[in-house]
A and B are shown apart, each in its own frame.
Chain A
Amino acid sequence: MTTSPKQRPGLSTTTGAAHARIWGVGGYRPERVVTNDEICETIDSTDQWIRERTGIITRRQAAPAETVVDMASAAAIEALTATGLTASQIDAVIVATVTHPYQTPGAAPMVADRIGATPAAAFDISAACAGYCHGIQLANDMVRCGSAHFVLVIGVEKLSDFSDRTDRGSAFIFGDGAGAAIVGPSGFPGIGPTVWGSDGSKSEMISQRDSWIEVRDHNAPWPAITMQGQSVFRWAVYSMAPIAQAALDRAGIKAEDLDAFIPHQANMRIIDALAKKLKLPEHIAVAHDIAETGNTSAASVPLATQRMLDSGEAPHGGLALQIAFGAGLVYAAQVIVLP
Chain B
Amino acid sequence: MAQSEKEILDGLAEIVNEETGLDTASVELDKSFTDDLDIDSLSMMTIVVNAEEKFGVRIPDDEVKNLKTVRDAVTFITGAQS
| Chain A interface (Cβ < 8 Å from any Cβ of B) | 52-53, 228-231, 233-234, 237-238, 267, 269, 273
A-B CB contact pairs (8 Å), 9 listed: A228-B61, A229-B41, A230-B61, A233-B41, A233-B45, A234-B61, A237-B46, A237-B49, A238-B49
Decide if B41 touches A230 in the complex (CB within 8 Å).
yes
At the interface, is chain A mostly helix, strand, loop or mixed? helix
Could you say which residues of chain B place their CB within 8 Å of the CB of A269?
42
User: Which residues in A have their C-beta under 8 angstroms from that of B61?
Assistant: 228, 230-231, 234
How long is the Cα–Cα vector from A238 to B41 in the complex, in angstroms?
16
Residues of chain B within 8 A (CB-CB) of A267 are 42
Interface string of B43-75 (1 = CB under 8 A from A): 011101100000000000100100000000000
How many angstroms between the C-alpha atoms of A62 and B5 in the bound complex?
54
Which of B44, B45, B46, B64 has the largest number of chain A CB atoms within 10 A? B45
B40 adjacent to chain A (CB < 8 Å): yes
Which secondary structure characterizes the binding site on chain B? helix
Query: How far does the alpha carbon of A233 sit from the alpha carbon of B49 in the complex, in Å?
Result: 11
Check if B44 sits within 8 Å of A234, measured CB to CB: no
Kindly state the separation between the CA atoms of A230 and B48 in the bound complex, as whole angstroms. 11
7 shortest interchain CB distances as A-B pairs: A231-B61, A234-B45, A230-B41, A230-B45, A233-B42, A269-B42, A233-B45
What is the minimal beta-carbon distance from A43 to any residue of chain B, in angstroms? 15
A267–B48 CA distance with the chains assembled, in angstroms: 19
**Which residues of chain B have C-beta atoms less than 8 A from A238's C-beta?**
49
Contact of A273 with B41 at beta-carbon distance under 8 Å, contacts A228-B61, A234-B61 already known? no
B73 to chain A, nearest CB (A): 15
Bound: A53/B42 CA distance, A: 8
Q: Quote the shortest CB–CB distance from A331 to chain B (angstroms).
A: 18
Which of the listed residues A52, A228, A238, A267 has the most CB atoms from chain B within 10 Å of its own CB? A238
User: Which residues does chain A contribute within 8 Å of B44, judged by CB atoms?
Assistant: 230
**Are A52 and B40 in contact (CB-based, < 8 A)?**
yes
Q: Quick one: which of A228, A229, A230, A273 has the most chain B CB within 10 A?
A: A230
A270: shortest Cβ distance to chain B, in Å?
A: 8
The residues of B that contact A233 with a CB separation of less than 8 Å are: 41-42, 45
Select from chain B the residue with minimum beta-carbon distance to A234: B45
- Min Cβ gap A173→B in Å is 13
A234 and B41 CA atoms in complex are apart in Å by: 11
